[in-house]
Amino acid sequence: MRIGLDMMGGDYAPAEAVKGVKLFLDSVATDVHLVLIGDEQALTPLLADAQLDQSRYSVVHSSQLIGMNEHPTKALKEKPHSSIAIGFHLLHNKKIGAFISAGNTGAMMVGAIYSIKLIDGVQRPTISTILPRENGNPGLLLDVGINADCKPENLVQFAVLGSLYSQYVMGTPNPKVGLLNIGEEEGKGNLLAQATYPLLKESRQINFIGNVEGRDAFKDTADVIVCEGFTGNVVLKMAESFHDIMVRRNIKDEYMDKFDFEQYGGTPVLGVSEPVIIGHGISGARAFSNMIVLAQRMIESKLLDKIKESFVAVQEG
């Protein structure tokens, strides 16, 4: 199993990416071979210092860099030798089985959509976040920002994608799917939520349990919570800010520590035909290591095959 990692993406690259690779290789005994994509000159001394088992990784040189604020489409077109462009090239040609980057999110999305394509039947890819829960088994919220305006059918697809991810990668059997709304009863909410509810209700691909509210985000009311990316992004950033408040207030609590979203590493781009993971710009060593673990799980669980089968079934059914 070969996993590609963009070593140049993120605010602390490549140093934290190298540390993350070391953390992964030192702690996880697997047959994963890491393909490290980055500037050889910058990487070589760092990798030498890290004293890694050289049989477990190889380096692919990238001579260009896409900055965090560059225009995604333009940058990808004009920089074919950037780590992100090379990563998608390798993924497209099956040289790697998953690609991870904490670099320019827009460029990652453009690469995912145009270089490796959407799964047949999927209208829009989506990104998600873990929701820490007191029972220890995390929930999933999607979309969290890529799709600020949605149609009801988009939300239904997010529900299917999130449900499969929750089941096969997060290990939640028969995940309960809830629609984020501002009231419990059917018929409540804005026009989008009102139109989405009956579609979710009639879907045979998910275990829909009805509306959930803001207060249910960190409860086990639903395992997968679906919303458009505007509200989802506000929820995610507000949850992240709670961790900052806990740190500032010097409040120590095992559960509240789980609001340190950095530890989760990144979000899969669900709906594209190969495993792609986008990391947070501020990703540190632990985040990089956890993203490699996530990529491995996405490959081992054959999540992409499950998603493809599911969308074929809908189209034929």
Using the 8-state DSSP alphabet, how is residue 163 labeled?
A: H
Instruction: Find, among 84, 81, 74, 32, the residue nearest to 53 by Cα.
Output: 32
Which of 24, 88, 197, 218 forms a contact with its own copies (CB under 8 A)?
218
Site stretch for its own copies (CB under 8 A), options 49-57, 197-205, 229-237, 266-274: 229-237
**Residue 230 sits in the site that holds its own copies (CB under 8 A):** yes
Interface with its own copies includes 184 (CB under 8 A)? no
x-marked contacts with its own copies along 45-84 as a string, rule CB under 8 A: ----------------------------------------
Q: Does position 191 bind its own copies by CB under 8 A?
A: yes
Does 11 interact with its own copies (rule: CB under 8 A)? no
CA distances for 4 relative to 39, 54, 95, 97, angstroms: 14, 15, 9, 8
**Beta strands in 217-314, from DSSP E residues, in sequence order:** 224-226, 266-268, 276-279
d(CA 69, CA 36): 23
- Which residue, 115, 223, 237, 241, is CA-closest to 163? 223
**Residue 64 DSSP label:** B
Shorter beta-carbon distance to its own copies: residue 17 or 159: 159
Count the Cβ atoms, other than its own, within 10 Å of residue 190. 12
Q: Considering beta carbons, is residue 187 or 198 the nearer one to its own copies?
A: 187
Q: How far is the CB of 270 from its own copies (least distance, A)?
A: 19
Spatial separation of the C-alpha atoms in residues 148 and 227, rounded to whole Å:
10
Q: Which of 28, 48, 148, 313 binds its own copies (CB under 8 A)?
A: 148
Strands (E), 157-234: 176-180, 207-212, 224-226
Binding piece for its own copies, criterion CB under 8 A, among 44-52, 94-102, 196-204, 244-252: 244-252
Nearer to its own copies (CB atom), residue 175 or residue 229: 229
- State the first-to-last Cα distance of the chain, in angstroms, to the nearest integer: 34
- Quick check: 298 and 304 in contact, CB under 8 A? yes
Q: Considering CB under 8 A, how many residues would be counted as binding its own copies?
A: 40
139 pairs with which residues across the strands? 131
User: Does residue 189 interact with its own copies by CB under 8 A?
Assistant: yes
* 154 binds its own copies, rule: CB under 8 A: no
Of the candidates 121, 157, 143, which has an alpha carbon nearest to the alpha carbon of residue 278? 143
Residue 102 or 193: the one with the smaller Cβ distance to its own copies is 193
Report the interface residues with its own copies, using CB under 8 A.
134, 145, 148-149, 180, 182, 189-191, 193, 213-219, 227-231, 233-242, 244-245, 248-249, 251, 253, 255-256
